[in-house]
Structure 1
Amino acid sequence: MRRRIPVASAMVGALALIALTGCTTDPSVTAPTEDAAETEESVEWFDQALFDKQDAERGVAPEGPDDQPWLQMINPEMVDTAEYASDGAKKACFANASISNPWRQTGWITMNEQLKVLQEQGVISEMETRDAQDSDDTQIADIDYFINEGDCDVFIISPNSTAAMTPAVERACDTGKPVVVFDRGVQTDCPVTFIHPIGGFAWGIDTAEFLIDELDEGAKVVALRILPGVDVLEQRWAAAEKLFDEAGIDAVDYFTGADPAEIKKIISDELAKGDVDGVWMDAGDGAVAAIEAFEDAGVDYPVMTGEDEMSFLRKWKDTGLTGLAPVYSNFQWRTPLLAAQMIFAGEQVPSEWVLPQAPITAGEVDEYLALNENMPDGHYAKFGGEDLPGYPQVWEDRVIP
Structure 2
Amino acid sequence: MARPVPIALAATACAVLVLSAGCGTTHENAGQAPNAGTNTKCKGPNGHYVIGMSQANVAEPYRQRMNDDIRNAAASVPQFEVKFADAAQDNAKQVSDVENYLTQQIDLLIISPNESTPLTGVVKKAYDKGIPVVVLDRKVDGDAYTTFIGADNTDIGRQAGTFIAQKLLPNGGKVVELKGLPGSTPAQERDAGFQQAIAGKNIQVVATGVGDWLRDKGQQQMDAILKAQPQIDVVYSENDPMAEGAYLAAKSVGRENSIRFTGIDGLPIPSGGIKAVEDGRLTATFVYPTGGKEAVEAAKKLLIDCQQVPKKQTLPTQLVTKDNAEAVYRAANGG
Q: With the length of structure 1 as denominator, give the TM-score of the two structures.
A: 0.63
Asked if 1:98 is matched to 2:53, the reply is: no
Change (3 A) 1:95 1:359: same
Change (3 A) 1:318 1:86: closer
Shift of 1:156: 2.4
Query: What letter corresponds to residue 241 of structure 2 in structure 1?
Result: D
Shift of 1:176: 2.3
Query: What letter corresponds to residue 51 of structure 2 in structure 1?
Result: C
Asked if 1:147 is matched to 2:105, the reply is: no
Asked if 1:108 is matched to 2:67, the reply is: yes
Change (3 A) 1:289 1:301: farther
Q: What is the 5 A alignment of 1:1-400?
A: 80-83=20-23, 84=39, 85-87=42-44, 88-96=46-54, 97-119=56-78, 123-124=79-80, 126-150=81-105, 152-199=106-153, 201-214=154-167, 215-226=169-180, 228-255=182-209, 257=211, 258-267=217-226, 269-270=228-229, 272=230, 274=231, 276-291=232-247, 293=250, 296-297=253-254, 300-307=257-264, 308-309=266-267, 310-319=271-280, 323-330=283-290, 332-344=291-303, 345-370=305-330, 386=333
Shift of 1:341: 0.5
Query: What letter corresponds to residue 48 of structure 2 in structure 1?
Result: K
Say if 1:327 and 1:358, in contact at 8 Å, map to a contact too. yes
Using the alignment, how far apart are the partners of 1:128 and 1:230 within structure 2? 23
Using the alignment, how far apart are the partners of 1:132 and 1:325 within structure 2? 27
Using the alignment, how far apart are the partners of 1:227 and 1:144 within structure 2? 23
Shift of 1:244: 2.0
* Number of matched pairs: 286
Shift of 1:90: 3.0
Shift of 1:269: 4.4
Using the alignment, how far apart are the partners of 2:196 and 2:158 within structure 1? 9
Per-residue CA distance 1:204-226 (angstroms, 9 max, x = gap): 10111001112233322222334
Using the alignment, how far apart are the partners of 1:249 and 1:300 within structure 2? 20
RMSD: 3.0
Shift of 1:312: 4.2
Change (3 A) 1:354 1:298: closer
User: Structure 1: where are the runs of 5+ without partners?
Assistant: 1-78, 372-381, 393-401
Shift of 1:227: 5.0
Q: Which has the higher contact order (CA 8 A, sep 6+)?
A: 1
Shift of 1:339: 0.4
Say if 1:241 and 1:251, in contact at 8 Å, map to a contact too. no
Using the alignment, how far apart are the partners of 1:153 and 1:320 within structure 2? 44
Using the alignment, how far apart are the partners of 1:149 and 1:189 within structure 2? 24
User: Structure 2: where are the runs of 5+ without partners?
Assistant: 1-18, 24-38, 212-216
Shift of 1:167: 2.3
Shift of 1:129: 3.2
Per-residue CA distance 1:227-262 (angstroms, 9 max, x = gap): 544332132223222332321212223215334254
Change (3 A) 1:209 1:189: same
Q: With the length of structure 2 as denominator, give the TM-score of the two structures.
A: 0.74
Using the alignment, how far apart are the partners of 1:355 and 1:230 within structure 2? 18
The match for 1:54 is none
Using the alignment, how far apart are the partners of 2:156 and 2:201 within structure 1? 17
Per-residue CA distance 1:326-385 (angstroms, 9 max, x = gap): 23222x1222221011113033311112221223233321124446xxxxxxxxxx6xxx
* Structure having the higher Rg: 2
Using the alignment, how far apart are the partners of 1:299 and 1:250 within structure 2? 20
Shift of 1:320: 8.4
Change (3 A) 1:290 1:259: closer
